[in-house]
Structure 1
Amino acid sequence: MTRALFVLHTAESSGAELAALRLAVAMHDMSAAPASSAAGTVEVAAAFAADGDVADRMRAKGIRTHLLATEHNSGAMTIAGRSIRRLVVGALGLARVGWELGALAREERASVLVAETTKALIMSAIASRRAGIPVVWHVHDRVTAEYFGAPLAVVVRLFGWLVSSAYIANSEGTANTLARWRRPTAVAYPGVTLRDDLERSPQRPADDVVVAMVGRLTRWKGQDLLLRAVRDQPIEPRRVLLVGGTFFEEPEYRHELEQYVASTGIPVEFTGHVDDPEKYMSEADILVHCSVMAEPFGQVVVEGMNAGCAVIASRPGGTTEIVEDGVNGLLVDSGDRSQLADALARLIADVDLRTTLSTNGRRRAERFDVRRSAVEVTEFLAWIATPKVAR
């Protein structure tokens, strides 16, 4: 049996970590099923460089979960900003943790390491040499100047190519930002757990519409853009839900948003971090995704579709692989306030259009069932872990 060790540098509830959690749980459930097929033969374990909610949730699901070298964690987590010097200093700390990871991989009799973040990739690069097993880089971010800065994007892309045996990308768009020469690549969308038990009311009349945006409060997600587009509306939504918390220095951004709301009187509710945003999506008529940078995938868009919202999403990026413009959602150019305001006005005023997009969106969400992604990744990892002479 193939044994996959998922490697994460943090257990905070963020996009990549939650996607890894859903995938690992789905793969674990599939391998544990009494009637599991040949595709369900990857046993999953996980290793974290810091403890937290995601690790707790993996343990609760019965996945073997390990915490690495806590005495090194503070130094290991110092990579920040776009400075190559800081990258090198932080990488040294991660390399020390990676040495312990290699020992753990041996104890686990792991067949393959799955690095879920760039920091996890550094750890895994060291561990793979010690354990003598391949590394698959599960890429959740576009490796571009937009995300990393121009110099670091080149470094990360080259490093990934040098140390990885293969890639799993969360969208075709993400895959296209990698150095893929002689590196097998699987595109596995960050599957979501589809639910048909979410109760919701029909789409509301124009003067009673609820708009939601789900995601961390950070500038590149564009909450400020949404608020300004709401200000432009001829028919103001009854409520605007900003669902998500803040990390690091982002409380300053939330303060700016709160000041804008106070000065304009827009009916906004800040929920802070919530473990289950689906209940807020089920209350909303319209879900808005308006990142000002190209989104690697946009799993919240799928979640909004599954919850029965009429979705507006920004392009380019992975969202264009989810939304068929005018069929199951509306697409607008990222950062374009006028386009976003026009799309909002169109949906607020037209309850029939919202109903159509909601119905079609629920059907489209079925393509992104996490169980489908689990099968694809299981088969890919089993193939990568097979010795070359046996291929």
Structure 2
Amino acid sequence: MPFLTKKLTITLINQVLLPSTMASITIKCKSPVTGRVPTNESPCKDTDLCRTVHWSFMVETHRPLRVLYVDHTAKLSGGEIALLNLLRVIDRSAVEPHVLLFSKGPLQSLLTDSSVTTHLLEMDNEVLETRKESLGVNSIFKLKKIELVVSQIWKVFKFIRENKIDIVHTNSLKSDVIAGISAKLAGVPLIWHIRDRIDGDYLPAKVASTFKLSAKIIPDLVIANSYATLSSLNDNQVKTNGHEIVVHDGTPLAQALLHRQMSKRKDGNTTIGIIGRISPWKGQHIFLQAAQQINRQFPEVRFKIVGSAMFDEQAYEKQIRQLATDLLLDEVVEFTGFREDVAQVLDELDIVVHASTTGEPFGQVIVEAMSAGRPVVATNGGGVPEIVNSQSVGLLVPMNNADAITEALKRLISDPNYASTLGEAGRQHVLQNFTIEKTARGIEQAYSKLTSTAKQTRPIHS
């Protein structure tokens, strides 16, 4: 400020930094004659030397990053539950979360109840309900669907611009494509959070190949929920670099159950459960085949199938209910339906089985069961070995093998002390490696790295 001469001593008495790039500062100058800063009660008489200067200028501020999380569905599947858990503990001093959903559902109200700003930008069900198994060139490029997708891309683009979003973080395959293109058009850094294995046993081969190529080009950063998921993007080669990282999904139960004593059934009977969406690849039929064998040797053991069918898989649920009847298990098997109270569910179980018949991208249920100190029998595929990385924390068995599950269960039922030791070792393993707080810190570090290396062509938005 060249008009302030050597005769003036600058005293900053008021500085207001607004949450934007513009700040207003009022400077009052101390009189070299009186040595006082002028006030209304004692004005400065030396008007040439004592005056108030109002100065507006641009400054760099450090408000939280405005991150837009996008998901095409509000149904409570694994990826949506993982997102909800993350946003409940994300550091709000560093991240201002906004969620954009393309459909209504229970996730919307749960996010709102967790004080997460949630927006709804509904999309036509013809696109939303397209199953991954039916994807292909013919289904994707139907004229009507193209029009619907382009329209949604434009709406998301406008939303990003109008809400001055700093980072777009997509949470599902459909949102990867739609919101991904919107983010690139808006010039906003883009993160694809991949929670599904991108392979021929999960997606049609052509779709999987196209998605793998797109993952190299469209997002600025790819976050995978396991090394197995990441390797599926790279033709089964694990490669972590600045463009692709792994952040495992943690569980909020790890800390929530830390000081809670999980109870035992009052009747002393062992209860074995399988938890998760009822779907052919989740292996409830394998679980029932093992249950039949256990029932022959341990008729007092009870079984629970916790979960419900989603995404038009009700026919499979009918099949496994009939299977329970055919295997004469109606008296010992309970179908509980969907349960939100995971901690209470685990309180009702002594052993948890994971029976997926194809490689699981991660295995959230396994982490939750271990956090409750429950011994786990899990199939060895996908991201599961990254959780059960030693037989000292859980028992791994081959996929599609009811006999192997049966033998592992017999070992746990016959030796309660071993089962208890295994459960406690698993609990400690989760506390050290799979808390939701650890997940949140990993995501926050990814944001920090992305924003520090990205070439911003515009200032941080207000």
Is the Cα contact below 8 Å between 2:108 and 2:118 reproduced in 1? yes
Deviates more, 1:76-85 or 1:235-244: 76-85
Larger mean Cα displacement after TM superposition, 125-134 or 17-26: 125-134
Give the aligned partner of residue 36 of structure 1: none
Shifted more, 140-149 versus 189-198: the winner is: 189-198
Tell me the TM-score normalized by structure 1. 0.91
The 2-side partners of 1:382 and 1:91 are apart by: 35
Greater Cα radius of gyration, structure 1 or 2: 2
Deviates more, 1:76-85 or 1:364-373: 76-85
Q: TM-score, normalised by structure 2?
A: 0.77
- 1:235-274 matches, within 5 Å, as 235-236=298-299, 238-266=301-329, 267-274=332-339
Give distance in 2, aligned partners of 1:305 and 1:250.
28
Aligned residues: 377
In the TM superposition, residue 92 of structure 1 has moved relative to its aligned partner by 5.0
Q: Deviations over 1:300-340 (max 9, x none)?
A: 00100112211001112111011134201100011112211
1:156 aligns with 2:211: yes
TM superposition shift of 1:66: 0.7
Q: Quick check: 2:339–2:345 contact (8 Å CA) kept in 1?
A: no
Distance in 2 between the 1:355 and 1:98 partners?
52
User: Within 5 A, what are the aligned runs for 1:69-148?
Assistant: 70=122, 72-80=123-131, 81-84=133-136, 85-89=138-142, 90=145, 93-148=148-203
Shift of the 113–369 alpha-carbon distance from structure 1 to 2, 3 Å rule, reads: same
Aligned with 1:168: secondary structure? strand
Identify the residue that residue 14 of structure 1 maps to in structure 2. Answer: 77
The within-5 A match list for 1:219-230 is: 219-230=280-291
Partner Cα distance (1:229, 1:339) in 2: 8
C-alpha separation between the residues in 1 aligned to 2:335 and 2:450? Answer: 44
The alpha-carbon distance between structure 1 residues 185 and 129, as it changes in their structure 2 partners (threshold 3 A), is closer
Q: Percent identity?
A: 28
2: CA distance between counterparts of 1:325 and 1:204? Answer: 31
Look up the equivalent residue of 1:225 and give its one-letter code: I
* More divergent stretch after superposition (374-383 vs 190-199): 190-199
Classify 1:182/1:15 alpha carbon distance in 2 versus 1 (closer, same or farther; 3 Å).
same
Q: 1:349 to 1:60 in 2, by over 3 A?
A: same
Bigger RCO of structures 1 and 2 (CA < 8 A, at least 6 apart): 1
Contact kept in structure 2, 1:314 and 1:333, CA below 8 Å: yes
- Quote how far apart the aligned CAs of 1:289 are: 0.3
C-alpha displacement of 1:181 = 9.0
In the alignment, structure 2 segments of 5+ residues that lack a partner are 1-63, 457-462
Higher relative helix content: 1
For residues 296 and 302 of structure 1, the distance between their equivalents in structure 2, rounded to whole angstroms, comes to: 13
| Aligned match of 1:38 | none
2:252 maps to 1:201: no
Give the drift of 1:242: 0.4
RMSD: 2.1
Match of 1:37 in 2: none
